[in-house]
Amino acid sequence: MQTLRTIEELEQLGLVVPEPRLVAAADGMAIAITPEMVALIDRSNLARDPIARQFVPSAAETEVAPEELGDPIGDEARSPLKGIVHRYPDRVLLKPLHVCPVYCRFCFRRERVGPGGERLSADELSAALAYIRERPRIWEVILTGGDPLMLSPRRMGALIRALDAIAHVGVIRVHSRVPIVDPSRVTDELVTALKPERAVLWLGVHCNHARELTRSARLALAKLADAGVPLLGQTVLLAGVNDDVDTLEALMRALVTARVKPYYLHHPDLVRGTGHFRVSIERGQALMKALRGRLSGLAQPTYVLDVPGGHGKVPIGPGYLGDDPGALVVEDAFGGRHSYPSR
């Protein structure tokens, strides 16, 4: 089976029943569902299946709320040139391409990824690298997109070497869905390409449900971990996918046992047509409180909100301290309350 890319292919497999709003949703964002993800979909319960919900277009995508944005995290406001987003003094995003192995229907860059969003040209990439080279305060470069691991090993290797040659770049971070949704791309050649000689490389893995950690995905992650690549987990809190404590607990445990450290739990962004995925911050905080009593610190992600307008991420996890500094009360992970000296 090839990657599914059209409404007709989804219909043939019984994943959708075409109707005008669904066709409009598919026209609004590219479709791509890899065979690995198709195999995980429970077709007997499509309406509730957490894998289908992430990748199969929905008529609900045509419903756009007034507060939803085309650029919800403000990439454009912080983009001094094509391929670069510079939001913090010490780090930049470098987006070498805008294609992905799958297209998540909640994607905060859903209006920019897909066909037509291919690689930066040689001149555009040279300009982006020059921007980084000319700014000594840049210590970390985050490769994102699109999915950087859609680059060939040869191109990825060349990009890693170019960044490694910039003396003030100490960390290269790669954000990818590939090890989860298309693990066959994690070849020995790719792993070799991901090894800078001087800088340190970290790989952020996007995974939203424990079922995504198939045997093939675990083998791909093991290949990276065995090669010395540190792995971080990034998860988006999504209604109907993982917005209950049992599901989140299972996911965080599965990530840790795959040698992936849970890093961020992202509150869903104000992306146009994604209201059906969003939960309240209050709900997210309650889930994080419940996780605190169930999981060790090793398995705890930081719950974050990306502030609209390009202002960056902030932690929005629950608080455990009372409001009165003169009579400080600490709430433990199980809801008990305890006094503590304020000085």
Active-site annotation holder among 75, 103, 104, 218: 104
Residue 88 is a catalytic residue: yes
Residue 313 is a catalytic residue: yes
Active-site annotation holder among 88, 155, 253, 259: 88
Residue 91 is a catalytic residue: yes
Residue 100 is a catalytic residue: yes
Instruction: Dig out the tokens for 338 from the structure.
Output: 């305890």
Residue 107 is a catalytic residue: yes
Residue 294 is a catalytic residue: no
Active-site annotation holder among 53, 78, 95, 109: 109
Residue 198 is a catalytic residue: no
Active-site annotation holder among 78, 87, 110, 261: 87
Active-site annotation holder among 103, 107, 119, 261: 107
Give one word for 138, left, alpha or beta, with left for phi > 0 and alpha for psi -120 to 50: beta
212 near 234, Cβ under 8 Å? no
Active-site annotation holder among 185, 261, 269, 303: 269
Burial 31-44 (b: 16+ CB within 10 A, else e): bbbbebbbebbeee
Active-site annotation holder among 49, 53, 78, 100: 100
- 3-state DSSP assignment of residue 264: strand
- The Cα–Cα gap between 288 and 283 comes to 9
- 3-state DSSP assignment of residue 247: helix
Residue 87 is a catalytic residue: yes
* Strand order across the 84-88 sheet: 84-88, 91-94, 140-143, 171-176, 200-206, 231-236, 261-266, 302-306, 313-315
Q: What is the largest CA-CA distance in the chain?
A: 67
| Phi and psi at residue 172, to the nearest 5° | -115, 125
3-state secondary structure 101-153: CCCCCCCCCCCCCCCCCCCCCHHHHHHHHHHHHCCCCCCEEEECCCCHHHCCH
Instruction: Dig out the tokens for 187 from the structure.
Output: 């070849």
* Catalytic residue numbers, as ranges: 87-88, 91, 100, 104, 107, 109, 269, 306, 313
